[in-house]
């Protein structure tokens, strides 16, 4: 029997609201706002309030899926990444780097978003980078 | 893929009842354009056989899977049209009714407005019916035993009818003997046969019937369960007499030294002993000891009855017993009370000695009564030379009871006849209207007129003993406006009889709640339908008979007793009982187990399942009121056939139509 | 404040060995406070015990008890939180068996912050701090004095800012339904911001909180739009008290009024015909 | 002046029959109230009443059996409690409580029913259309 709260930052937008993840016996059971946090001051929006919902959701993907013969089948990360690399390289070779666009998520951290723009510009060689929540 | 909704709408003309006010053709045309409506018709009489066949035929030919009929109140014909749907092969719960007669054509003056309202009501029904789901009824076995409450003539009749068809009857009577008010009466109108002579054989038949268990001096303590399966607890009050040992020999009451004024059976005119049967023909012929008046119970001495009882049947240590019986149906025949004449002070009852009530007069004139049938004044010796009989005492009077007590006219005419026959005295009857509608009643009225009774039309203002005119000394003077000649009159008489009205028993409301039925404003029990279902009540399996449902004479009470018995027998004959399909159900996926619903249920149908911590509804106990639905905050309970979706759709249908008319 | 903190720490220290855990507040990283389950055997955690800001601890109790129905627990609760526990008990959401209430009496500045009429516990046998009298709620009083049109205008202005985060419902310990009527399109319109006024969302929620709201004001505190939501609840609570003689959290054995048949006078006081 | 749109929830056993009684006696009353039959007034949840307002109803009637006469013993006791609170809440939100009529009509009271419909329709007519309040 162990209950504690883990302070973290809401991943959904750039505001940076603080929230507590309620943990009961190593299981995420809910979200609580952080009252005396200087940014969110105890408030959250509907996304923050549900920030924990996907973690243990039954529909959440646990492994990559690769379409084989019209059907999605589970695959390893190596297999999936190799396939992506292969396809992206082929596309770049066939139609040039600007035929590829990179679209990042607000759920990623700053660091992850930095890396993905780096990947787009340096690895693929395109400026087609965008993000879903440019607050 | 979900089945396509195909609605058939039928607008009933009801002759001109609806069509005379509502443009039914227009409503039908308009309904045809509502979503999912496949066909829309109007027809002269939807409830007629061809009307019903039309529905059945359309269901089959057009593949209808929902039906809406716009006609009268669902209380009248919902079951008719549900039946029509069933014969067409459609589940009866896929039918919905719009009431465009009682709620529209009959109450709306403006024809255009009435048509608009009809459209809104039809739209509401059409929107609702799409959300309706087929429901299957639950069947439970019918217990063939019957409880009859009240041993007056209505109850006795009902009990006999049922027992004769070899079904078991538990007959509960509050007084020590069967008989009710009828046992107190002398002659019965209009045939003048002796009341006791015609009632006693019925009482003895019931008393010795092998299919009747008699509980006299008993009351129903509580009732639980539902049609087919009632559990009834009966309080058998201590008689202090061992019923099996007692032979009814009468030695106990002969030997009992304590005289008690009998204000129940003898209406205070005679005496009985502290151990007594109310009258000689009592059934069962077993006395009771009147504990508050018994010397043994007061002082611990006496025991005369015990000393002399040849069978040792006196048991001073007897206790009340609580007995439980299981029955499938219940007949309430709890009767009436007479109006308390003291409530009308100007008539002098209780103040002027020779003002009698009708019930007192019955005892006076009864050969088995306190005077041996001699009609005398309160002094016990003087024979009256003139008698005034006042009708409608406490009835048809805004200050007391608004209704007509139904029996008083004939009763008063009977008194007139008896007085003239026995005493040759002059009789004056004071009436508002004479009401003699039943078979041979008016003939009796004519006969009494011929016999010389004087009938004066007018409500009596006062009965007084203050003489102010010659000839009034020592008399009771009846002050009245004779409305036929338009004059005030003062009629001096020796005796006044107040024909007091009937009213519901003081505890009628309590009894109604106990049995789960309802009372009218006058506290008479309410029947299911005043014309078409006069002895059933809104509670399945509970029936009413006799004057507990409203003022009634003996023939009507007996007829109702038989009618209630017939309804019960038809239920028993079915073998099993269909339980309301529109019950409430808990969605255990969403129930949070807050227990909010449990105490709201009037029928204790909801229980809490501890190991899953969720509520559960017993469908056999649920009566479908939906109170729990209104209480459930997480909306985890839904009432079948009255779901939120259905009610919202109905409301949206009505609102959208109204808004449409507003915009145009 | 620190005196109370020391006293509370000492109280918990004494109770800890007799229970499986004590629910209280703990200061975490950057001084941010959150509920915490203090366990016997780890008294050092009490060094970071906190008093303020208050948190919806009855909810924490529910979470732990649902997983461990037989655990012996203690909970540090203020007046409002104690009332919350009592009401949740009445609705079978928490158990009072094996539960020790440690009453924490609020100080004047906390009571003023919450506009709290009852900043003290009544059931807890172990208490820390001395109870103070309640303070008036000027916001609610000012609102109650408004005219019909002013009330309408007041909420219209307030609810314009509502972002429908459902935070007021989420944080409320008395909102424990699995499925919420407020998420049902039948009752609350979806996809419309700002909310239509009058806001059915808030009326329905206030209706559901009838005889349940314990005036903890957590909803107000979490509202990103700063809407004074407690006004509704407090006015209704006043009606419930007047009409049905019921006060949340006051008497453990008293059943909430919606469940009960009408008692003498209830009906007359309801003002219905 | 406008024609108010009113929804009436009537319990099946008393009020609906009261309406039938009014009909059978050919008592005339305004056509503004559209009746929805429910088994018991206790079935009517506050949400249902509020939804009527949302649809643009100018008034809502909740009619049940007289206290003590409920077909279901005490279903109307809950109605009395819920509706009393709901009326207060409407007030607190700037909606006139006069828009919600809660009353008791027995099966015999056709006349009371007709009078009630007429007077409530008039009462609502005196108020502004609800759409003007709800924006």
Give me the domains of chain D, ranges plus CATH numbers.
6-129 (3.40.50)
* DSSP states along B93-138: GGEEEEE-IIIIITT---HHHHHHHHHHHHHHHHHHHHH------E
Q: Which residues pair with B10 in a beta bridge?
A: B41, B69
Structure tokens at D107: 């099966």
Cβ–Cβ of A43/C223 closer than 8 Å?
yes
Paired sense of beta strands A27-33 and A18-24, if any = antiparallel
Cβ–Cβ of A44/C223 closer than 8 Å?
no
Reference B639, options A25, D40, C179; nearest CA is D40
| DSSP 3-state of C178 | coil
Find the residue in C nearest to B613 (Cα). Answer: C92
| DSSP 3-state of B430 | strand
Give the whole-angstrom CA distance, residue D18 versus residue D115.
12
The residues, any chain, with a CB within 8 Å of residue C120's CB and separated by 6 or more, are C79, C103, C105, C106, C131, C132
Reference D107, options C271, B75, B557; nearest CA is B75
Give the whole-angstrom CA distance, residue B186 versus residue B554.
13
Find the residue in C nearest to B630 (Cα). Answer: C258
| Touching pair C, A by Cβ (3+ pairs < 8 Å) | yes
Give the whole-angstrom CA distance, residue D47 versus residue D44.
8
> Does residue C177 belong to the interface with chain B, where contact is any CB pair within 8 Å?
yes
Structure tokens at C11: 């109280």
Cβ–Cβ of C258/B600 closer than 8 Å?
yes
Q: pLDDT tens digits for D34-69?
A: 999 999 999 999 999 999 999 999 999 999 998 877
Cβ–Cβ of B629/D43 closer than 8 Å?
yes
CA angle B142, B144, B147 (to 5 degrees): 110
Residue C64 lies in a domain: yes
Q: Which residues of B touch C260 (CB under 8 A)?
A: 599
Here the ipTM equals 0.90
- Residue B394 has a pLDDT of 96
> Hey, of A5, A6, A16, A21, which one would you mutate to test binding to chain C, going by the most C CBs within 10 A of its CB?
A5
> Does residue C159 belong to the interface with chain D, where contact is any CB pair within 8 Å?
no
Residue D135 pLDDT level (bands cut at 50, 70, 90): low
- In this predicted structure, the answer to whether residue C267 has a pLDDT above a threshold of 70 is yes
- In this predicted structure, the answer to whether residue A107 has a pLDDT above a threshold of 80 is no
Distance from the first to the final alpha carbon of chain A: 41
Check if the beta carbon of residue A109 is closer than 8 Å to that of residue A94.
no
> Does residue D102 belong to the interface with chain C, where contact is any CB pair within 8 Å?
yes
**Scanning the structure block, which residue is given the tokens 């903190």?**
C5
Torsion of CA B11, B13, B17, B20, to 10 degrees: 100
Residue B459 pLDDT level (bands cut at 50, 70, 90): very high
Whether residue C30 is found in the same domain as residue C79: yes
The pLDDT mean for chain B works out to: 94
Reference B586, options D82, C204, C187, C179; nearest CA is C179
Cβ–Cβ of C186/D91 closer than 8 Å?
no
- In this predicted structure, the answer to whether residue C263 has a pLDDT above a threshold of 80 is no
Check if the beta carbon of residue B181 is closer than 8 Å to that of residue B407.
no
> Hey, of D20, D82, D86, D104, which one would you mutate to test binding to chain B, going by the most B CBs within 10 A of its CB?
D20
**How many Cβ atoms are within 10 Å of B83's Cβ, its own excluded?**
16
Give the whole-angstrom CA distance, residue D89 versus residue D53.
14
C 165-194: CB under 8 A from D: 181, 186-187, 189
D 37-96: CB under 8 A from C: 46-47, 50-51, 53-54, 67, 74, 77-78, 80-96
Domains in chain C, number = 2
User: What is the 8-class DSSP label of residue B648?
Assistant: H
The pLDDT mean for chain D works out to: 92
Whether residue C116 is found in the same domain as residue C162: no
**How many Cβ atoms are within 10 Å of B644's Cβ, its own excluded?**
21
Cβ–Cβ of A5/C28 closer than 8 Å?
yes
CATH number (2.40.10.170, 2.40.128.110, 2.20.25.90, 3.40.640.10) of A3-49 reads: 2.20.25.90
Cβ–Cβ of C34/A25 closer than 8 Å?
no
Give the whole-angstrom CA distance, residue C228 versus residue C159.
10
- In this predicted structure, the answer to whether residue C257 has a pLDDT above a threshold of 90 is no
Cis amide linkage into residue C103, ω under 30° from 0? no
- Residue C121 has a pLDDT of 96
Going from N- to C-terminal start, the domains of chain A cover: 3-49, 61-95, 97-127
- Residue B1 has a pLDDT of 47
The residues, any chain, with a CB within 8 Å of residue B588's CB and separated by 6 or more, are B612, B614, B616, B636
Q: Which stretches within D55-105 are classed as H helix?
A: 75-92
Cis amide linkage into residue B375, ω under 30° from 0? no
Q: What is the enclosing helix (H) or strand (E) of B81?
A: helix B74-87
**Scanning the structure block, which residue is given the tokens 């939180």?**
C81
Whether residue C186 is found in the same domain as residue C83: no
Q: Using CB atoms, pick whichever of C92, C177, C186 lies closest to residue B595.
A: C92
Q: Using CB atoms, pick whichever of B107, B538, B652 lies closest to residue D23.
A: B107
- Lowest-pLDDT choice from B48-57, B341-350, B608-617: B608-617
- Residue B2 has a pLDDT of 65
Q: Which residues pair with A7 in a beta bridge?
A: A20
Find the residue in D nearest to C233 (Cα). Answer: D89
User: What is the 8-class DSSP label of residue B16?
Assistant: T
CA distance, residue C27 to nearest chain A CA (Å): 10
**Scanning the structure block, which residue is given the tokens 């015609």?**
B198
Whether residue C235 is found in the same domain as residue C149: yes
Whether residue C7 is found in the same domain as residue C115: yes
Q: Which residues of B touch D102 (CB under 8 A)?
A: none
Q: Which residues of B touch C91 (CB under 8 A)?
A: 594-596
Cis amide linkage into residue C198, ω under 30° from 0? yes
- Residue D72 has a pLDDT of 81
Q: How far is CA B586 from CA B496, B610, B636, C73, in A?
A: 66, 15, 6, 32
User: What is the 8-class DSSP label of residue C258?
Assistant: G
Cβ-count burial C210-221 (b if 16+ within 10 Å, e if not): bbbbbbbbbbbb
Check if the beta carbon of residue B327 is closer than 8 Å to that of residue B146.
yes
Burial class (CB in 10 A: 0-12, 13-18, 19+), B360: buried
- Residue A134 has a pLDDT of 60
Give the whole-angstrom CA distance, residue B326 versus residue C115.
60
Instruction: State percent of chain C over pLDDT 70.
Output: 99
Chains with ≥3 CB–CB distances under 8 Å to C = A, B, D
Reference B404, options B417, B389, B390, B391; nearest CA is B391
User: What is the 8-class DSSP label of residue C9?
Assistant: H
- Residue C247 has a pLDDT of 94
Check if the beta carbon of residue B274 is closer than 8 Å to that of residue B289.
yes
Find the residue in C nearest to D79 (Cα). Answer: C258
Q: Provide mean pLDDT across the span A93-107.
A: 91
Whether residue C118 is found in the same domain as residue C27: yes
Chains with ≥3 CB–CB distances under 8 Å to B = C, D
Give the whole-angstrom CA distance, residue A13 versus residue A107.
7
Q: Which residues of C touch D93 (CB under 8 A)?
A: 151-152, 155, 198-199, 202-203, 232
The size of the B-D interface in CB pairs under 8 A is 146
Cβ–Cβ of B635/C184 closer than 8 Å?
yes
Q: pLDDT tens digits for B235-251?
A: 999 999 999 999 999 99
- In this predicted structure, the answer to whether residue B84 has a pLDDT above a threshold of 80 is yes
Q: pLDDT tens digits for C108-154?
A: 999 999 999 999 999 999 999 999 999 999 999 999 999 999 999 99
B 562-601: CB under 8 A from C: 589-596, 598-600
Cβ–Cβ of D81/C261 closer than 8 Å?
no
The domain boundary, picked from C71, C94, C128, lies at C128
Check if the beta carbon of residue B514 is closer than 8 Å to that of residue B234.
no
Q: Strands, DSSP E only, in B227-320?
A: 229-236, 259-262, 270-273, 275-276, 288-289
> Does residue C206 belong to the interface with chain B, where contact is any CB pair within 8 Å?
no
Q: Which residues of D touch C271 (CB under 8 A)?
A: 84, 87
Give the whole-angstrom CA distance, residue C52 versus residue A42.
13
Q: Which residues of C touch A1 (CB under 8 A)?
A: 20-21, 37, 39, 64, 67-68, 71
Residue B318 pLDDT level (bands cut at 50, 70, 90): very high
Find the residue in C nearest to A45 (Cα). Answer: C165
- In this predicted structure, the answer to whether residue C84 has a pLDDT above a threshold of 60 is yes
User: Could you tell me the residue range of the domain that residue C237 belongs to?
Assistant: 138-244
- Lowest-pLDDT choice from B11-15, B163-167, B585-589, C218-222: B585-589
Structure tokens at D29: 């009353």
> Hey, of D23, D41, D58, D129, which one would you mutate to test binding to chain B, going by the most B CBs within 10 A of its CB?
D23
Q: Which residues of B touch D3 (CB under 8 A)?
A: 662
Q: pLDDT tens digits for B468-520?
A: 999 899 999 999 999 999 999 999 999 999 999 999 999 998 898 788 787 88
Provide long-range contacts, Cβ within 8 A and 24+ apart, for A52-59.
Answer: A52/A21, A52/A22, A52/A28, A55/A28, A56/A27, A56/A28
> Hey, of C165, C172, C176, which one would you mutate to test binding to chain A, going by the most A CBs within 10 A of its CB?
C165
Give the whole-angstrom CA distance, residue B219 versus residue B233.
9
> Does residue C255 belong to the interface with chain B, where contact is any CB pair within 8 Å?
yes
Cβ-count burial C120-137 (b if 16+ within 10 Å, e if not): bbbbbebbbbeeeebbeb
**Scanning the structure block, which residue is given the tokens 């009959």?**
B106
Reference A39, options A59, A14, A68, A69; nearest CA is A14
Q: Which residues pair with B455 in a beta bridge?
A: B429
Most confident of A103-107, B149-153, C156-160: B149-153
Sheet-wide strand order for B487-493:
B460-464, B476-482, B487-493
- In this predicted structure, the answer to whether residue B125 has a pLDDT above a threshold of 80 is yes
Ordered structural domains, chain B, with CATH: 7-134 (3.40.50.960), 337-503 (3.50.50.60), 584-640 (3.30.70.20)
Cβ–Cβ of C39/A2 closer than 8 Å?
yes
The residues, any chain, with a CB within 8 Å of residue B213's CB and separated by 6 or more, are B168, B169, B170, B171, B325
Reference B268, options B338, B345, B196; nearest CA is B338
Give the whole-angstrom CA distance, residue D36 versus residue D49.
12
Q: Which stretches within A4-120 are classed as H helix?
A: 46-49, 77-95, 110-118
Q: Which residues of A touch C170 (CB under 8 A)?
A: 31, 49
Give the whole-angstrom CA distance, residue C219 versus residue C204.
15
- In this predicted structure, the answer to whether residue A135 has a pLDDT above a threshold of 70 is no
Find the residue in D nearest to C231 (Cα). Answer: D92
C 89-128: CB under 8 A from B: 91-93
Cβ–Cβ of C92/B593 closer than 8 Å?
yes
């Amino acid at each position: 029997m162990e209950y504690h709260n883990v302070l973290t930052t809401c991943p959904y937008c750039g505001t940076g609201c603080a929230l507590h993840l309620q943990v009961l016996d190593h299981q995420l059971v809910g979200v609580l706002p952080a009252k005396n946090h200087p940014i969110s001051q105890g408030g959250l929006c509907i996304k923050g309030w549900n920030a924990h919902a996907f973690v243990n959701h039954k529909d959440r993907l646990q492994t990559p899926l690769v379409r084989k013969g019209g059907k999605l089948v589970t695959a390893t990360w190596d297999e999936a990444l190799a396939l992506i690399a292969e396809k992206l390289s082929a596309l770049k070779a066939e139609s040039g780097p600007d035929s590829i666009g990179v679209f990042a998520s607000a759920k990623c951290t700053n660091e992850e978003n930095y890396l993905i723009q780096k990947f787009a510009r340096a690895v693929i060689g395109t400026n087609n980078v965008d993000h879903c929540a440019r607050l | 893929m979900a089945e396509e909704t195909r609605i058939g709408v039928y607008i009933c003309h009801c002759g001109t009842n609806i069509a005379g006010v509502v443009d039914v053709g227009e409503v039908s045309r308009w309904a045809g354009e509502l979503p999912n409506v496949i066909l829309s018709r109007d027809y002269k009489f939807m409830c007629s056989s061809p009307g019903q066949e039309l529905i059945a035929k359309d269901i089959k030919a057009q593949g209808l899977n929902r039906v809406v009929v716009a006609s009268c109140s669902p209380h009248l014909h919902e079951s008719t049209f549900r039946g029509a749907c069933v014969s067409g092969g459609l589940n009866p719960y896929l039918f919905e009714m719009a009431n465009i007669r009682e709620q529209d054509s009959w109450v709306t003056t403006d024809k255009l407005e009435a048509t608009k309202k009809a459209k809104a009501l039809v739209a509401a029904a059409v929107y609702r019916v799409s959300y309706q789901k087929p429901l299957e009824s639950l069947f439970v076995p019918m217990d063939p035993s019957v409880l009859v409450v009240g041993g007056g003539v209505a109850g006795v009749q009902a009990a006999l009818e049922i027992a004769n068809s070899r079904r078991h009857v538990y007959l509960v009577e509050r007084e020590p003997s069967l008989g009710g008010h009828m046992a107190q009466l002398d002659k019965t109108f209009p045939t003048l046969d002796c009341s006791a002579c015609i009632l006693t054989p019925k009482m003895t038949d019931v008393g010795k019937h092998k299919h009747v268990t008699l509980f006299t001096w008993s009351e129903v303590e509580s009732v639980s369960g539902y049609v087919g399966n009632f559990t009834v607890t009966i309080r058998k009050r201590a008689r202090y007499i061992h019923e099996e040992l007692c032979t009814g020999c009468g030695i106990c009451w002969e030997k009992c030294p304590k005289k008690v004024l009998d204000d129940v059976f003898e209406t205070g005119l005679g005496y009985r002993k502290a151990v007594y049967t109310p009258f000689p023909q009592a059934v069962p012929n077993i006395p009771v000891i009147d504990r508050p008046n018994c010397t043994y119970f007061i002082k611990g001495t006496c025991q005369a009855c015990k000393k002399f009882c040849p069978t040792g049947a006196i048991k001073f240590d007897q206790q009340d017993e609580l007995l439980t019986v299981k029955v499938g149906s219940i007949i309430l025949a709890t009767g009436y009370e007479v109006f308390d004449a003291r409530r009308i002070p100007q008539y002098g009852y209780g103040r002027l000695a020779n003002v009698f009530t009708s019930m007192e007069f019955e005892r006076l004139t009864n050969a088995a009564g306190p005077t041996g049938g001699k009609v005398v004044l309160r002094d016990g010796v003087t024979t009256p030379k003139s008698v005034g009989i006042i009708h409608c005492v406490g009835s048809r009077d805004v200050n007391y009871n608004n209704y007509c007590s139904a029996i008083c006219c004939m009763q008063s005419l009977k008194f007139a006849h008896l007085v003239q026959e026995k005493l040759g005295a002059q009789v004056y009857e004071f009436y508002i209207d004479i009401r003699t509608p039943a078979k041979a009643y008016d003939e009796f009225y004519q006969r009494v007129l011929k016999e010389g009774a004087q009938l004066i039309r007018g409500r009596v203002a006062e009965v007084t003993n203050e003489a102010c005119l010659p000839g009034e000394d020592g008399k009771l003077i009846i002050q009245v406006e004779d409305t036929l000649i338009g004059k005030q009159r003062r009629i001096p008489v020796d005796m006044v009889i107040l024909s007091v009205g009937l009213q519901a028993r003081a505890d009628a409301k309590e009894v109604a709640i106990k049995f789960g039925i309802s009372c009218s404003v006058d506290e008479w029990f309410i029947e299911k339908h005043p014309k078409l279902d006069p002895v059933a009540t809104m509670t399945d399996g509970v029936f009413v008979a006799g004057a507990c449902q409203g003022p009634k004479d003996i023939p009507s009470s007996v007829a109702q007793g038989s009618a209630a018995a017939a309804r019960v027998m038809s239920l028993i004959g079915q073998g099993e009982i269909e339980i309301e399909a529109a019950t409430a159900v808990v969605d255990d996926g969403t129930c949070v187990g807050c227990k909010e619903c449990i105490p709201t249920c009037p029928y204790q149908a909801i229980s809490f399942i501890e190991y899953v911590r969720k509520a559960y509804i017993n469908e056999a106990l649920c009566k479908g009121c939906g109170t729990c639905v209104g209480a459930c905050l997480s909306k985890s309970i839904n009432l079948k056939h009255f779901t939120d979706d259905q009610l919202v759709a109905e409301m949206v249908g009505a609102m959208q139509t109204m808004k449409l008319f507003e915009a145009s | 404040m620190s005196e109370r903190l020391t006293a509370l720490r000492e109280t918990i220290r004494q109770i800890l060995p007799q229970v499986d855990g004590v629910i209280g507040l703990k200061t975490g990283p950057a001084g941010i406070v959150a509920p915490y389950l203090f366990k016997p055997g780890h008294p050092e955690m009490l060094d970071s015990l906190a008093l303020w800001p208050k948190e919806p601890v009855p909810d924490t109790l529910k979470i732990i008890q649902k997983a461990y129905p037989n655990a012996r627990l203690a909970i540090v609760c203020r007046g409002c939180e104690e009332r919350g526990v009592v009401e949740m008990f009445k609705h079978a959401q928490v158990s009072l068996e094996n539960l020790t209430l440690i009453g924490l009496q609020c100080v004047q500045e906390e009571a003023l912050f919450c506009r709290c009429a009852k900043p003290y516990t009544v059931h807890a046998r172990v208490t820390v701090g001395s109870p103070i009298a309640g303070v008036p709620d000027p916001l609610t009083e000012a609102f109650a004095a408004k005219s019909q049109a002013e009330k309408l205008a007041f909420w219209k202005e307030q609810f314009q800012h509502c972002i429908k985060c459902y935070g007021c419902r989420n944080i409320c310990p008395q909102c424990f339904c699995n499925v919420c009527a407020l998420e049902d399109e039948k009752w609350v319109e979806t996809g419309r911001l700002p909310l239509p006024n009058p806001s059915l969302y808030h009326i329905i929620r206030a209706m559901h909180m009838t005889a349940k709201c314990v005036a903890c004001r957590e909803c107000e505190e979490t509202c990103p739009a700063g809407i004074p939501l407690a006004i509704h609840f407090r006015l209704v609570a006043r009606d419930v008290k007047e009409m049905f003689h019921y006060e949340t959290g006051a008497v453990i054995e008293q059943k909430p009024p919606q469940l009960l048949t009408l008692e003498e006078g209830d009906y007359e006081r309801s003002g219905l015909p | 002046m406008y024609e108010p749109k009113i929804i009436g929830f009537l319990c099946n056993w008393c009020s609906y029959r009261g309406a039938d009684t009014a009909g059978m006696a050919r008592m005339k009353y305004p056509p503004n109230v559209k009746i929805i039959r429910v088994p018991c007034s206790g079935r009517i949840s506050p949400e249902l009443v509020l939804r009527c307002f949302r649809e643009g109803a100018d008034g809502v009637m909740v009619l049940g059996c007289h206290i003590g006469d409920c077909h279901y013993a005490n279903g109307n006791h809950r109605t009395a409690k819920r509706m009393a609170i709901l009326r207060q809440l409407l007030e607190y939100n700037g909606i006139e409580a006069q828009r919600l009529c809660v009353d008791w009509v027995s099966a015999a009271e056709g006349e009371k029913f007709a009078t009630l419909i007429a007077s409530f329709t008039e009462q609502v007519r005196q108020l502004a259309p609800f759409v003007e309040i709800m924006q």
